Amino acid sequence: MTPNQAHVRYTAGQYDDYTKEFVKPYDDMLAAWVLQESRKLPAAFTLLDVGTGTARFLIHLASIPELDAVRLIGTDAFDDMIQTGSAAIGNAGFANRIELILDTVHNMKLPSNLAHLIVSRSTLHHWKDATFPDPVPRALQEIFRVLKPGGMALIVDVRRDAPPEAVEKFNTQRRQAGIGDSFLGEKFTVAEVQAFAETAGIGSYCTVEAGKSGLSLLGLALVIKKPLDL
């Protein structure tokens, strides 16, 4: 963690309770995407969760028999998230399946061309670091570097211009978990995220779309596909 990174607005314990219970429907959608993509890959591929928080999504993936051979890695910039996530992994019996690393997205310790799949959930708006003039493009460059040629990354987040009814449903869930309302002002639009990808120099490898129905209405998805010849 760098001095320029502001912590999330709740403790690791609060975040863990929230993701464990209320974020599951959103994680189920993302897990379905992982399963779909996994069927195109060798059984023992590597998946990286950037900004894993308390690792609840990785625990969910580890519980899916079809993904038994997958190497699961999670990174987070905050030590309390890593500690709480490590405890949750141990309690779930997956200490030998999931590796957590204290790391920042702007300067990842991981080698280039490592992960076949990269996911990142509700982290895009946290990628702030005054060390870099363009922190979000810098983060995207790092994700692209760590992504294996032929691999794919999916970055999802709440969008600033989400429909009010989707935002209200999401905030109701947050209130029930004892978490404050989502701050839409710090989120981005599809056009802004596409501009970040262009600034990062990877715009031609990216698509950005707003959700079109159901739970996906709340957010946007940035998909990065790294060509085999890079």
Q: Strand 115-121 to strand 219-225: parallel, antiparallel, or no bridges (unpaired)?
A: unpaired
Please answer whether residues 75 and 100 qualify as being in contact, where contact means their C-beta atoms are separated by less than 8 angstroms.
yes
Q: What percent of the chain has pLDDT over 90?
A: 69
Number of Cβ atoms within 10 Å of the Cβ of 221 = 20
Beta bridge partners of 71: 46
pTM summary value: 0.89
Please report the pLDDT score of residue 95 as a whole number.
Answer: 97
Number of Cβ atoms within 10 Å of the Cβ of 182 = 18
Give me 60's structure tokens.
């969910």
The residue to which tokens 């895009």 are assigned: 124
In whole numbers, what is the pLDDT of the chain averaged over residues? 90
Please report the pLDDT score of residue 212 as a whole number.
Answer: 83
| 12-225 belongs to CATH 3.30.1330.60 | no
Beta bridge partners of 46: 71
Tens of pLDDT, residues 114-159: 999 999 998 999 998 878 999 999 999 999 999 999 999 999 998 9
Q: Where are the domains of the chain?
A: 12-225
The residue to which tokens 């799949």 are assigned: 117
